[in-house]
Structure 1
């Protein structure tokens, strides 16, 4: 059975670059008609600098930050010292930059914004991954991402040791409670699944269940890969794991926190999806130092 997709840790998937470029957007909104401060108050000399962590964290978006400097000035020499996915201690360098000091300072804030935001996602993800260590549960992200930054944030989840759920509405079927409110008969659901798979062979199908009775009903359907256990108590999840007996994979979701996730993982579910990875991650503190 196919696993959840995992995008590259690089700046953006190639397909995404043709329609959306968050680096270009970020630079345009920050630089506008030009960096007036650097133009009038910074000389033309060349300098070296480094970006370093100011707190323990997991790096993500390092390649994106490097690309920001390249976009501002292709003549800058940039060295990635610690790539995305690296665990960082205070003071450890992630990027080294050399060249025009004006260019370095012009790119600084946008590069740091990406690095701090994405490393925050990776760092929080790693906390959740570590919390379920020793169990079979794998940590998934959700579509609760910053508009326009989904590819980067989902790559940051992977950098933190998590896995990606569906990227969008187009690469996986997920029938949730609002969909089921419009169609509840099993025979109609089964026909819809058959039609969907006939037109999209290999597509992953997931159904959301609010009760154990719904789980039992969904087990009678053919073509279902995953059943989402929505807002269930750990005892209910454990019971679902017992009678499902591996016939489909089970995903737990709803109100998951660092305090509750170990108990959820102990039930034996295959996946735990956590919206907080991307919607509530705190930015990690990085700084640029000229030498």
Structure 2
């Protein structure tokens, strides 16, 4: 319980009137002091009941990166039998969010912004709740267990990415599919000469004066194995940050990527679950 500035003045006034009542024997002062003490007791009980019977659950996104602001979703539920809760503030690791009213069987959702400075496993054991209700004399607080676990990935740092054709990736916002001969149909275009006969669209060409050819996308890029020891960087943390960026950029671009961490080798893959597995390996590297 924390005493606010207004609460301190109220307590000081009550004590001053109490001393005056004792010294003067004035019954009116005794009645005023008794009323003030009764008010303090009633508000204390109401404030205590206000933060009881609450349950809290939190949810972190699948991807949490060190040094990056992350939204933590919070759901607050009132499990008291009758009374609602008012003016509830929830705090987690220095961040906080407020709920004006939490009624029974009507969970309220909110979010707060957190930043985790260090990569690796993270455990959120408990959160704090507090409230100045019913009057801002005392702020009552309690702790609620949340038991939330996640892995904080290394902070990604940009590094030039080699494209399948050997040219450096300049960071375009949209991926451009390379032309090929064995992929999916991309579009129909005019015959320019030099295209293989198998690419000529004979049925469509019969309806036009010029030959029409099928343009196909290139087949999947060659799998890539990233060796952490060969990634440039002044220290391990910077190499892990570069590795995180490379894994995200390449896998999202459709290229199968694997990892070599010392003597351990993780075979290439291109699914989202595989990407998260690689990021988890990078986050936990050297932590055990």
TM score, norm. by length of structure 2: 0.26
Higher helix content, 1 or 2: 1
* Bigger-Rg structure (1/2): 2
Q: RCO (CA 8 Å, sep 6+): is it higher in 1 or 2?
A: 1
- Name the TM-score, length of structure 1 as normaliser: 0.25
